[in-house]
Chain A
Amino acid sequence: MSKTEMKPDDVERNATLLGLRIAPEHSQSIVSLLTEIRDSVLKKASALKDDAPLAVYFDAR
């Protein structure tokens, strides 16, 4: 899966769109954290079948 590297500007723009005031000095740390987590979780999930279920259940009772 190809991807474009996230940048601090992207984080700030997305935060603004969401009405979120992020601390300016956090942008780079957020990029690093989100990139690491996304890549790691994606790698873990790549071993799953496409229809592997979600571990969150709704009980209609």
Chain B
Amino acid sequence: MKDVSDCWKLDIAAIANGISTRTLSPVALTEMMLDRIARIDPKLQSYVTVLRDNAISSARQAEKDIANGGYRGPLHGVPIAIKDIYDTKGVRTTACSKVRENYVPAADSTVVSKFREAGAIILGKVTTHEFAFGFDSRPTKNAWNLNHIPSGSSGGSGAAMAAGLCFAATGSDTGGSIRAPAAANGIVGIKPTYGRVSKAGVAVLSWSLDHAGPMARTVRDLAILLGVMAGPDPLDPHTKDVAVPNYARALSSDIRNVRLGVPSNYFFDDVEPWVEEAVRTAIADLEAIGAKAVPVSIPDLDGVLDCMLAIAMSEASTYHQQAMRETPELFSDETRLLLEAGELTLATTYINAQRSRLAIKNAFRLVMKDIDVLVTPTQPTTALKIGQTTSRIGSREESVFGVSARFCAPFNISGLPAISVPCGFSPEGMPIGLQIVGKPFDEETVLRIAEAFERSTQWHRDYPAIAI
């Protein structure tokens, strides 16, 4: 068996090759990751719970099963992390809230159960913004600069991935919570189509906007992970009975004649110049390998963030209605304010937001008719500093929520699949993300284009100093 001390830099595809040929030991890989967590995470604070004994015991079992010819596939023996809003049987699942401080689920969420069946080793639970309702993910830091937030709400997943403290992590995305931390931490993350991945056993923020999805180091890894996570689930009525393709097999570097819709409005308004430059260079890179850029006009998205907020606040306040009457003081001040406002939102406001949502979805369907994907910045800027409450770009000043959700939330509203891949760095060395958005249930095309981009660039091969 090989020395694994540098294997944290590898992606799952490479690790799986070593595990399946028994040149890499799941036990050694798990111990290596646990040692890294013990050494690096006190500074980063990305883990809520580390499952050292369980992880080593599962890794030993995986190693034994593989030695006996029972190799299950590319996740067998691979150490991963789970966002702390996914239920894990017998393991505290706090949603990073005092409200759930002592909650120990009796069953796994569907996604965790699928990962266990695939043989993945669960290292522990990683932080989330409280109940996934925000973007700073306290107390976790950004792996590229500890003075910056990791974004959120899947901030622990993003920071842990960037620092090499797991090979993959789960995320959830209601207004950008997979893509924003993926962009902020220089990793990849995909929000699949609404209904593609089960949310059974995942704490609800908003039934109609929440999406579960994976975060990883490479697009190929996302394809492997999504292949395990996707599919209809009788425990989640929001899932759709749509065939799940072999995403990993569908990857190919050939993207000749793929039509990239490049928005002429909204997605390049009030963007930091280095973000625009990185994204336009990425589009040129995609053209250089055969894609065709097509300018497109985006439908009127004014008010889309307020529609998203009206829906999320109303649905979240329903989910937390009992806790808000019994122990409102246990919520953080910020979450409590949003839940209070959600209780007092008029039913007509909620209904109008849901009616507008359908109009926005239909408008995107028209935009997507003559293109294969849309390409946009994931975020107008890079990760904000810890404690920063507003962002100013040119004359536009907006809240952390506004700047984080502006380019992501339209695809929670429309339900379209969207990925973030690294495409550069700011002058301060903070990562920038490229967002690629596809047609409903066409994650294959999104992954194929993202992987072709990744292959033709080197951004995913940079690591923050804290990881090395």
Q: Which residues does A use to contact B, with CB under 8 Å?
A: 11, 14-15, 18-23, 26, 29-30, 33-34, 36-38, 40-45, 47-48, 52-56, 59
Contact = CB atoms under 8 A, between A and B. Distances in A.
B302 A44 contact: yes
Contacts of A59: 237
Nearest to B414: A55
Given A37-B349, A52-B355, A54-B355, A26 B340 contact: yes
Contact of B355 (A15, A36, A45): A45
B358 interface: yes
A29 B337 contact: yes
Contact of A38 (B302, B349, B357, B361): B349
Interface string B296-316: 000000111011011001000
Given A47-B359, A55-B208, A41 B340 contact: no
Given A22-B340, A41-B307, A55 B358 contact: yes
Contacts of B333: 23
Interface in B313-350: 313, 324-325, 328, 333, 336-337, 340-341, 343-346, 349
Given A20-B328, A44-B304, A56-B354, 14 more contacts: A15-B344, A20-B324, A20-B325, A21-B325, A23-B337, A23-B340, A29-B341, A30-B344, A34-B344, A41-B306, A42-B349, A44-B353, A55-B355, A59-B237
14 contacts: A19-B325, A26-B336, A34-B344, A38-B349, A43-B302, A44-B304, A44-B307, A44-B352, A45-B352, A48-B352, A48-B355, A53-B358, A55-B358, A56-B354
Can you list the 7 inter-chain pairs with the closest CB atoms, starting with the nearest?
A45-B352, A40-B306, A44-B303, A55-B358, A55-B357, A44-B356, A40-B303
A37 B359 contact: no
A29 B359 CA distance: 30
Nearest to A43: B303
A45 B304 CA distance: 11
Contacts of A38: 345-346, 349
Contacts of A30: 337, 340-341, 344
Interface residues of B, number: 33
Contacts of A42: 349, 352
Contact of A34 (B302, B304, B345): B345
Contacts of A40: 302-303, 306-307
B31 to A, nearest CB: 46
B330 to A, nearest CB: 12
Contacts of B304: 44
Contact of A41 (B328, B344, B353): B353
B351 interface: yes
Nearest to B325: A19
Which of B303, B304, B361 gathers the greatest number of chain A CB atoms within 10 Å? B303
Contacts of B310: 37, 41
Contacts of A56: 208, 354
Contacts of B328: 20-23
A37 B340 contact: no
Interface in B274-306: 302-304, 306
B344 A45 contact: no
Nearest to B331: A23
A46 B325 CA distance: 35
A38 B324 CA distance: 23
